[in-house]
Structure 1
Amino acid sequence: MRLFRHVLLSLPTAAVVVLATIAPASAQPEPVQDAGSTTASPALTVDGARIDTLRAAEDVEEYWTPERMRNAIPLTPEDTGAKRSSGTAEQPSGPPGSTPAAAPSGEIRTKIAETSVAGKVFFTKPSDGKNYVCSASALNSNSKQMAITAGHCVHEGNGGNWMKNWMYVPQYRNGDRPYGTFAAKQMRTFNGWINDGDLNWDVAMVTTWPQGSDKLVNRTGGNGLSWNYSREQDVTINGYPGNKDNGEVQWYCEGRTSDSGGKLALGCDFGGGSSGGPWMRVFDQSSGLGQTNGVTSTVNSAGVNKSSYFGDSVKQMFDDQGSVT
């Protein structure tokens, strides 16, 4: 198995390039709501049908043939229309906290370069009908069915639409699906992203359909969630950057983050397709588990990646979505 290592010592400064493709300005915005509140939507097919049965979830899996997965486009900007931020990034209003991680029920196939907790996300973008790819990770919760990713990997932002045919493939590798596939059942993201494309709120959580009776976290393990921690943290970031191995192999990067305009920053040079990959505190190489404290959102011309800050609002999103089954 190939291993990849990228350790960061310093961060250059450059203009941000957003890893999200922004919805057209003509899209009708949703009603104005507090940026830090969230909205949930049932998962839909391209035809607008709800993915509300196991049979419908299997249809999504069948849609994603090896050829469609191979040809899916790493989500990269067509322009820089997202707002860098529409206001001050969230500040912690309470003490740091974490929820527990959970080990898988079966065999652990983890190395630092490739963990079963991280995987690849495939979906169809409504505004152009094309297939795209992001990254995500399993997040332990009461449901055992949840994944966490970037807001722009579930919704177009700026008043656009929810992504369709959404499917998560844990530890994808060159077309292999060692843990199967998990279609979305319900998606949730911040109204700050939905209405304004505000990068302070580029986070989403997705409840997935089980594979038969086997739930995502039981199969792959799931990270805990951290919130209200310092913006300077030692982290391990995993994902599928399209500028490395064509996004066909999971990569990792580790280093100490810095505070960049209220966001977390680390110079991993992870391009399109890495969006939504986990930024993990206290990552344990033996278990492949950690505490998710961010998700990849943007990259700049110097290769510096950024994540929205995880504060009380992310914890509230977790509370709202974590028991949905």
Structure 2
Amino acid sequence: MRRALLSSFVVTTLVLGPGRLAVAEPVGGIPPVGAGAGDASSGDGSSIVGATPELSNGEDVDSRAEALEAGKYWTAERMARAIPADNLLPAPPTGPATRAAGPTGRPGSTPAASPTATRPGGRAARIADTASVGKVFFKNPVNGKNYVCSAAALNSPSKQMVVTAGHCVNTGGSKGTAGRWMRNWTYVPRYRDGARPFGTFAAKHFRSFSGWTDHSDLARDVAMVTTWPLNNKKLVNVTGGHGLSWNFSQRQATTVFGYPGNHGKGKSQRVCRGKTRAAGASYSELRCDFGSGASGGPWLREYDEAKGLGRQNGVMSTRNRDGWNRTPYFDTAVKRLFDAQGSKT
């Protein structure tokens, strides 16, 4: 079965800097299931890499003042015109799969957390609209354009974390050239047609896998982001945050959230429910037909409709021409990523 990124896009050459190039492929250019380049240091692309986010001008977002500056960049007009990030990605990797088949250890989960702060208007969670899911907005440092993805709040010791797709945080590497980290990166919980009921949370620290940042390996298309508190309140305390699951069967009753552009033009959350199936050793899939803009949205086990929370067992990555969406398989490496980022404040 052929895979495609979450939307059609033209062949484009990106200038990464002096003498640095990456090429985006047309739809259908992604390798067969299981293909992907492993990382030389870990053998499977699971080495963890991180970075401090930057503003448009390249200054680090290392203070509350810079965090507010990142948020101010996102006017209603810029948010409305942001392009789905899956419209422009580096060339996919080639070569044999290096990941082991199936789980890489015993299955496990961390707990979700309900909000401790008062919700605006006292709105209760709804199946198709939860405060623990939102949109991310960022500027691509390669071409200077504004992009958008989906994401979710993830409960951790810091209470400040978001999980999304790797390509929503880093442009992805190719042919020995590492990808660039996105700029002016912000997360807007429960975004709805321009409304920001919980405000705009700026990124404080990024982490992803070297498989993505160095090789554009879709099997490692996962990132976790620590956000700055907003008005002295931490994200998970405000919106609640999902738990995390890893090393579970690839057949799971699953609830998927995102902002797909082919459903309601990406202006509000959409939900898809069903039972996932294996798509090779490195992916699980579900026929949601979520298109561009849904990248980074959560795949949840044990979703509680009353609380609007579940245990995240995947992240929206790709869609094929038959409407099957895929997530990288959440193995022990994803738990290590969580451990590395989850306490960072």
TM-score normalised by structure 1 residue count: 0.91
Q: 2:221·2:328 contact (CA, 8 Å) conserved in 1?
A: yes
Give CA-to-partner distance per residue, 1:151-180, whole Å, 9 cap, x none: 000000022200111000000000000111
Q: 1:84·1:199 contact (CA, 8 Å) conserved in 2?
A: no
The AA in structure 2 aligned to 1:207 is T
Q: Quick one: which of 106, 109, 115 aligns to 1:95? A: 106
Instruction: Say which is worse superposed, 224-233 or 156-165, in terms of deviation.
Output: 156-165
Q: For residues 108 and 255 of structure 2, what CA distance do their matches in structure 1 show?
A: 19
The AA in structure 1 aligned to 2:237 is N
Q: For residues 166 and 196 of structure 2, what CA distance do their matches in structure 1 show?
A: 24
Q: Quick one: which of 39, 50, 71 aligns to 1:61? A: 71
The percent identity for this pair of structures is 49
Q: For residues 224 and 68 of structure 2, what CA distance do their matches in structure 1 show?
A: 21
Q: Quick one: which of 253, 256, 265 aligns to 1:237? A: 256
Give CA-to-partner distance per residue, 1:248-268, whole Å, 9 cap, x none: 110000000000022010011
Aligned to 1:176: 195
Q: How does 1:199-238 map to 2 (within 5 A)?
A: 199-238=218-257
Q: 2:86·2:167 contact (CA, 8 Å) conserved in 1?
A: no
Runs of 5+ consecutive residues of structure 2 not aligned to the other structure: 23-38
Distance 1:302 1:255, change over 3 A: same
- Is 2:332 aligned against 1:317? no
Q: 1:109·1:116 contact (CA, 8 Å) conserved in 2?
A: no
Q: For residues 199 and 5 of structure 2, what CA distance do their matches in structure 1 show?
A: 30
Q: For residues 85 and 284 of structure 1, what CA distance do their matches in structure 2 show?
A: 40
4+ residue segments displaced more than 3 Å:
19-29, 77-80, 88-91
Q: 1:76·1:271 contact (CA, 8 Å) conserved in 2?
A: no
Deviation at 1:76, TM superposition (A): 2.6
Aligned to 1:37: 47
Aligned to 1:8: none
Aligned to 2:128: 113
The AA in structure 2 aligned to 1:120 is K
Find the residue that maps to 1:67 and give its secondary structure: helix
TM-score normalised by structure 2 residue count: 0.86
Q: For residues 140 and 267 of structure 1, what CA distance do their matches in structure 2 show?
A: 27
Q: For residues 85 and 281 of structure 1, what CA distance do their matches in structure 2 show?
A: 32
Q: 1:19·1:75 contact (CA, 8 Å) conserved in 2?
A: no
Deviation at 1:85, TM superposition (A): 7.3
Q: 2:132·2:239 contact (CA, 8 Å) conserved in 1?
A: yes
Q: Greater relative contact order (Cα 8 A, min sep 6): structure 1 or 2? A: 1
Q: For residues 62 and 324 of structure 2, what CA distance do their matches in structure 1 show?
A: 39
Aligned to 2:311: 291
Runs of 5+ consecutive residues of structure 1 not aligned to the other structure: 1-13
Distance 1:79 1:209, change over 3 A: closer
Q: For residues 134 and 176 of structure 1, what CA distance do their matches in structure 2 show?
A: 16
Deviation at 1:27, TM superposition (A): 3.3
Q: For residues 27 and 192 of structure 1, what CA distance do their matches in structure 2 show?
A: 19
Deviation at 1:32, TM superposition (A): 5.2
